[in-house]
């Protein structure tokens, strides 16, 4: 809640078109776009994409049911053009029309702020080689001129692309990429951040002036700035009094004290004063949620325990069923973003299936033996790791590993990826088999010849169907599986998936939703709920 997000010099107006691929009617209470369901929406004919950018996003590998993503990305009737913007090679990039390399953290400008502690702060990331060259007197127009491999800075890419699309400004695009200091001229990368530091970071101009620096120079020197408490409260955001300009055009509900503008709550009256309050419908901390009742889920209006799809009563241990935890993290790896870190993969390079000794005895396996783990839509084959560190009836497989590539010399870093054959066996069934695990190789880095590990894990996410929570839309990763000793033809790393079954599971979970399409007020979703890219208020109501 206290993350600091500065405003740029100019923001485009919100979209005045409601997009049900982003805001499906079945999930009016979802906080983010239902990206995991895009392949199923397009398969059902809900729409098509003329151009699709996957930006630092690897859905083929990260999302459940990646083969449905492959089917979508390779079907031009659903996605006409796919461009992958990625700082490192990814499994999704194999299925892109354009692969657009982006800079990693040390190769681009960027702003950073997180809720790390009881403070509000902002960090400024800079491309190392560009800064080095400029400080040694070399002029650099574009960051790619300094980056290894001529990798573009993403900010500059969008500026250039926008000016190429709208060279004379007639489309209304270019105006958002024109300099605030040189009217009508192309926005420079330093100008973009200069304006933010001068106008959108409270206390920064004063701190810079005390050191006889401009705000931009201050951030270039120090890289971060903590917002003074008096200018950006941390513990009392809800107690901020609304100013007269903010109250213009609002109304007050006499019973609840809620202050609203055009149906959207912006604050609450307490003891005769107008406060910002909390980001809820009532602008108060809510124990009882009127939103849950009004939007079709009255039984959950009060907090309480529910029996989930993986409750013990839903799992028959005697039939070889287990609860799978596929999301647990290792302290050495960062989600799927460590594949290019040779030192980290040297430490952690496999994701065996954890199981309790009692379950191992029941199945008849020991540590290192192969297991077949079957889901609703397929299975994968991995090694067992027998440990008392997990509860009987529960198995776990870490989500970091199992990276793969389709060609010997290209693709995900060879420190981390296996060479695989992946293809269709029928109209809907897919099979992956590892051709070669991780091996030493010759390169400019002598460490590549010193690789001693031979396995890089198994890609389990391919075998997971989507389980979108009927209320929030979030994917429910925990799931019921069956675990057995590997069969005679099974090999380490085998993956089998049926996308028709995956679509059936999607439809079954979709039936659990309660769309509110017949509301008398015509609302598509609550007006008070925020979104990263919120459409215009007029689009929230159905017409007619």
Chain segment 223-253, per-residue pLDDT in tens: 999 999 888 888 888 999 999 999 999 999 9
Spatial CA neighbour of 142 closest among 161, 157, 162: 157
Which pLDDT does position 1 carry in this prediction? 65
- Parallel, antiparallel or unpaired: strands 52-55 and 82-86: parallel
Note whether 249 and 345 are same-domain residues.
no
User: Is the residue at 439 inside a domain?
Assistant: yes
- Any residues with CB less than 8 A from the CB of 452 and at least 6 apart, and which? none
User: Is the residue at 201 inside a domain?
Assistant: yes
Q: What is the pTM of this model?
A: 0.92
- Parallel, antiparallel or unpaired: strands 82-86 and 98-101: parallel
| pLDDT tens per residue across span 32-43 | 889 999 999 999
CATH number of the domain within which 390 lies: 2.40.40.20
519: left (phi over 0), alpha (psi -120 to 50) or beta: beta
Other C-beta atoms closer than 10 Å to the C-beta of 23 total 18
Q: Which of 222, 253, 283 is the last residue of a domain?
A: 222
> In angstroms, rounded to a whole number, what is the distance separating the alpha carbons of residues 322 and 75?
36
Residue 343 parent element (H or E): helix 342-347
Note whether 167 and 257 are same-domain residues.
no
- Any residues with CB less than 8 A from the CB of 196 and at least 6 apart, and which? 6, 7, 8, 9, 111
Note whether 335 and 244 are same-domain residues.
no
Note whether 435 and 470 are same-domain residues.
yes
Opening angle at CA 77, ends 72 and 81, nearest 5: 70
Q: Report, as ranges of residue numbers, the positions in the chain whose pLDDT lies below 70.
A: 1, 544
Note whether 148 and 281 are same-domain residues.
no
Note whether 193 and 157 are same-domain residues.
yes
Count how many Cα atoms sit within 13 Å of the Cα of residue 158 in the half-sphere of its side chain.
13
Note whether 281 and 399 are same-domain residues.
no
Which pLDDT does position 544 carry in this prediction? 66
Q: Which of 189, 222, 255 is the last residue of a domain?
A: 222
User: Is the residue at 357 inside a domain?
Assistant: yes
Spatial CA neighbour of 463 closest among 45, 61, 125, 51: 61
What residues make up the domain containing 274? 237-291
> In angstroms, rounded to a whole number, what is the distance separating the alpha carbons of residues 399 and 354?
13
Which pLDDT does position 339 carry in this prediction? 81
Which residues in 436-466 are b (16+ Cβ under 10 Å) and which e? ebbeeeeeeeeebeebebebbbbbbbbbbbb
User: Is the residue at 252 inside a domain?
Assistant: yes
> In angstroms, rounded to a whole number, what is the distance separating the alpha carbons of residues 294 and 442?
63
Note whether 446 and 321 are same-domain residues.
yes
Query: Using the 8-state DSSP alphabet, how is residue 72 labeled?
Result: H
Note whether 182 and 281 are same-domain residues.
no
Spatial CA neighbour of 43 closest among 17, 19, 18, 21: 21
Opening angle at CA 338, ends 336 and 342, nearest 5: 145
What's the total number of domains in the chain? 3
Note whether 266 and 373 are same-domain residues.
no
| pLDDT tens per residue across span 125-140 | 999 999 999 999 999 9
In what side-by-side order are the strands of the sheet with 121-125? 110-112, 121-125, 224-226
What are the backbone dihedrals phi and psi of residue 539, each rounded to the nearest 5 degrees, phi first?
A: -80, -10
User: Is the residue at 502 inside a domain?
Assistant: yes
Note whether 386 and 285 are same-domain residues.
no
Spatial CA neighbour of 129 closest among 154, 104, 112, 111: 104
User: Is the residue at 125 inside a domain?
Assistant: yes
Note whether 351 and 452 are same-domain residues.
yes
Provide the 3-class DSSP secondary structure of residue 488.
Answer: coil
CA torsion 402→408→413→419, rounded to 10°? 10
User: Is the residue at 217 inside a domain?
Assistant: yes
**How many angstroms separate the Cα of 186 from the Cα of each of 56, 152, 163, 273?**
26, 17, 8, 45
**How many angstroms separate the Cα of 148 from the Cα of each of 127, 128, 304, 413, 443?**
11, 11, 54, 17, 16
Residue 208 parent element (H or E): helix 204-210
User: Is the residue at 55 inside a domain?
Assistant: no
Spatial CA neighbour of 492 closest among 464, 461, 463, 456: 456
> In angstroms, rounded to a whole number, what is the distance separating the alpha carbons of residues 40 and 507?
9
Which pLDDT does position 237 carry in this prediction? 84
């Amino acid at each position: 809640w206290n993350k600091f997000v500065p405003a740029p010099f100019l923001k485009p107006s919100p979209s005045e078109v409601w997009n049900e691929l982003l805001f499906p009617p079945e999930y009016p209470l979802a906080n983010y776009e239902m990206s995991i369901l895009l392949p199923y929406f397009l398969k059902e004919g809900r729409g098509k994409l003329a151009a699709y950018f996957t930006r630092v996003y690897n859905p083929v590998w990260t999302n459940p049911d990646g083969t449905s993503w492959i089917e979508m990305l390779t079907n031009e009737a659903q996605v006409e053009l796919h461009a992958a913007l990625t700082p490192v090679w990814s499994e999704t990039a194999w299925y892109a029309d354009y692969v657009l390399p982006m800079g990693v953290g040390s190769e681009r400008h960027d702003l950073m702020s997180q809720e790390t502690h009881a403070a509000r702060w902002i960090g400024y990331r800079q491309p190392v080689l560009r800064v080095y060259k400029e400080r040694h007197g070399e002029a650099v127009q574009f960051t790619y001129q300094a980056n290894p491999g001529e990798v573009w800075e993403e900010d500059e890419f969008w500026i250039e692309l926008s000016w190429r699309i709208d060279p004379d400004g007639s489309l209304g695009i270019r105006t958002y990429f024109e300099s605030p200091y040189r009217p009508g001229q192309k926005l420079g990368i330093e100008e973009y951040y200069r304006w933010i530091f001068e106008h959108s970071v409270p206390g920064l101009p004063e701190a810079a002036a005390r050191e006889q620096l401009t705000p931009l120079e201050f951030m270039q020197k120090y890289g971060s700035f903590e917002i003074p408490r008096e200018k950006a409260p941390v513990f009392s955001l809800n107690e901020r009094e609304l100013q007269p300009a903010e109250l213009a055009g609002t109304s007050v509900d006499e019973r609840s004290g809620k202050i609203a503008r055009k149906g959207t709550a912006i604050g609450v009256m307490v003891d005769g004063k107008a406060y910002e309050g909390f980001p809820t419908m009532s602008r108060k901390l809510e124990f009882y949620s009127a939103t849950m009742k009004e939007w079709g889920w009255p039984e959950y209006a009060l907090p309480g325990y529910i029996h989930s799809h993986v409750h013990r009563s839903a799992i028959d241990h005697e039939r070889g069923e287990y609860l799978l935890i596929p999301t647990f993290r290792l302290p050495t790896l960062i989600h799927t973003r460590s594949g290019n870190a040779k030192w980290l993969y040297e430490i952690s390079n496999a994701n065996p299936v954890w199981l309790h000794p009692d379950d191992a005895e029941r199945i008849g396996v020991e540590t290192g033996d192969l297991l077949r783990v079957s889901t609703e839509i397929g299975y994968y084959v991995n090694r067992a790791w027998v440990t008392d560190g997990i509860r009987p009836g529960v198995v776990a497989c870490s989500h970091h590993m199992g990276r793969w590539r389709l060609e010997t010399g290209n693709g995900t870093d060879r420190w981390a990826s296996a060479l695989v054959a992946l293809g269709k066996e029928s109209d809907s069934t897919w099979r992956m088999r590892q051709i070669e695990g991780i091996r030493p190789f010759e390169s400019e880095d002598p460490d590549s010849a010193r690789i001693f590990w031979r396995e890089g894990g198994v890609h389990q996410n391919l075998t997971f169907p989507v389980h979108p929570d009927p209320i929030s839309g979030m994917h429910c990763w925990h799931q019921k599986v069956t675990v057995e000793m590997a069969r005679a033809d099974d090999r380490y790393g085998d993956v089998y998936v049926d996308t028709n079954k995956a679509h059936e599971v999607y439809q079954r979970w979709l039936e659990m939703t309660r769309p509110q399409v017949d509301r008398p007020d015509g609302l598509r979703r609550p007006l008070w709920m925020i979104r990263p890219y919120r459409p215009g208020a007029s689009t929230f109501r159905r017409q007619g």
